[in-house]
Amino acid sequence: MMDHNEMMARMISKPIAPGKPEGWDGILSAYADCLLQVQGKLTEDDLRRFLDVGARVFRSCCQEEARQRWTAEQLAAYHRKPRVDY
């Protein structure tokens, strides 16, 4: 099992796939996809904490650009995926 320092080091040093640059909206969408995969294994408090982290990332890194491009509803609709039951 990884500790906090190892997780941070891996996230910071992990290269992205060549030719696959993503904007913040694609990254948050991928994060939501990951949460969909594991949400059945998480408590409500755990899921809330993960969503809070996603919200903080958005607020600190992406909010101004998003405000200029979309409303929250438009952004959610753009990344809406069909419901999949796990």
Q: Mean pLDDT of residues grouped by 10 in the chain (86 residues)?
A: 90 77 79 94 96 89 72 70 59
Specify the pLDDT at position 53. Answer: 93
Q: Tell me, yes or no, whether 39 lies in a domain.
A: yes
Domain that holds residue 32: 22-78
Q: Tell me, yes or no, whether 40 lies in a domain.
A: yes
Q: Is the pTM of this model over 0.95?
A: no
d(CA 58, CA 38): 21
Q: Tell me, yes or no, whether 4 lies in a domain.
A: no
Give, in degrees to the nearest 5, the angle at Cα 72 between 66 and 74.
95
Both tokens of 1, joined, read 């099992």
* Tally of domains within the chain: 1
> Would you say 24 and 32 are in contact if contact means Cβ atoms under 8 Å apart?
no
Identity of the amino acid at 9: A
Q: Tell me, yes or no, whether 11 lies in a domain.
A: no
